[in-house]
Amino acid sequence: MCTSKPPAPPAPDPSIKQQQEAQKAEVTAEKREQRDKALAQAVTRLRGGSGRRSLIKGSGGGMGFYSRYL
């Protein structure tokens, strides 16, 4: 059996490390942008109708105004 320690890995090149950090920052920014876009779409979808006057599609009511029997 060998009792000696394995050799230490070489130190990473600073330029490679900077490139990796730049790529991570770019990916993080892209994910943040996609998340913000998805949130904006969800808010638009929840809001529904075309402004304050939409009683039929709005989330604040409408069945009292809209009768399916008319």
- For tokens 């779409």, the residue is 41
Per-residue pLDDT of 1-51, as tens digits, reads 567 888 888 887 889 999 999 999 999 999 999 999 999 888 877 766 555
* pLDDT value, residue 12: 79
- At 1 the pLDDT is 56
Non-local CB neighbours of 6 within 8 Å, separated by 6+ positions: none
Give the pLDDT confidence score for residue 7 in this predicted structure. Answer: 86
Which whole number is the average pLDDT over 55-60? 57
| Residues 56-63: contacts with CB under 8 Å, at least 24 apart | none
pLDDT attached to residue 26: 96
